A and B are shown apart, each in its own frame.
Chain A
Amino acid sequence: DAGVIQSPRHEVTEMGQEVTLRCKPISGHDYLFWYRQTMMRGLELLIYFNNNVPIDDSGMPEDRFSAKMPNASFSTLKIQPSEPRDSAVYFCASSPQGARRETQYFGPGTRLLVL
């Protein structure tokens, strides 16, 4: 299995621009999570989906952030407009249903820098 795939790995953009981060979860996993990691705040859960349906988006910082999961193999996290304080590493993780449902498998992350 290829694991969780994220793209791009690095993104540099200017304040005000739209940023779209992409994630392909592990095939067969029913849960998908988006996290943000910074030195100051650590690893924060932004939103998670179960069977493509958003379950908890209480971690999404504000309306500039939106996430979609149009099918079981693809999800996007969009920031519009982006701001310098959005600079962070964004991780996508997926998890299977069942007894080991709490085990999360992380992608390599997208390192975002907003200038």
Chain B
Amino acid sequence: EPEVTQTPSHQVTQMGQEVILRCVPISNHLYFYWYRQILGQKVEFLVSFYNNEISEKSEIFDDQFSVERPDGSNFTLKIRSTKLEDSAMYFCASTLQGEYNEQFFGPGTRLTVL
């Protein structure tokens, strides 16, 4: 069964450093998403991506964040200068279509900012 994969599973970084979180969505899916979940809290939408551009983003997704689809398979989230409060689980998800479609989540990357 096709699945969304994410690497690394755990990333530890120093405050102020840049990190890149990687995702490989399901191959025929067209819409891609990044979510954040601080431990024990709700799933927070960051950004959605379609047709090689951002289609929606939340207030959390400020200038420190960027997304890219550098090739036909990878979908990356870059945090330029990490802050302590960026420590969270980051989930990538993908869907075949934008609406009325279940979202398939990857296993997540746990980001720890020291």
Q: Do A and B come from one complex?
A: no
Instruction: Please list the residues of chain B having a beta carbon within 8 angstroms of any beta carbon in chain A.
Output: none
